[in-house]
Structure 1
Amino acid sequence: MCNFQVSGKVFDCKGGRFIRYNIILYIAIVLMQLIILTNITLLDGSWNGITMWLCTGIFIFATTIFLLSKSQEQKSGR
């Protein structure tokens, strides 16, 4: 595993790809907000159940990413 730091930001390279966990988590938040906004404004709340399931799935995905990043931090000793 390699880690390097560029202007205060730590990058992990795994298989030649850079993983930025904070960007993945930010995208998850934006996606949830867009789903909720679309449901409320365009669909008048008629898809509340589907919206809830989508947001719950995105939340579980984001929580998994967060926990994986924390476990890698602990393993690397940062």
Structure 2
Amino acid sequence: MASIESPKTDKKLPVYMTLTDLQQLFQMLSEEHSSLSLRNEAMFKLLATSGMRRSELVTLTWEQVDFSS
């Protein structure tokens, strides 16, 4: 059995949020008034609008952000 390869499994495609779902999320985030609410809103908006991966967002530094654009 060691020389027999197992069949390849299908990769699951990612499930994306609809525009309505994103609008509801952004509305909820903008109404939140906790100490981290601005950070959370910025993080979710970056993820949703830039195509950035979660790991890229986590490792993002201030020097990498271009505030003038």
Greater percentage in helix: 1
Find the structure with the greater CA-based Rg. 2
Q: Which TM-score tier does this pair reach, normalised by the shorter chain?
A: 0.3 to 0.5
TM-score calculated relative to the size of structure 1:
0.36
TM-score, normalization by structure 2? 0.39
Judging by fraction of residues, say which structure has more strand: 1
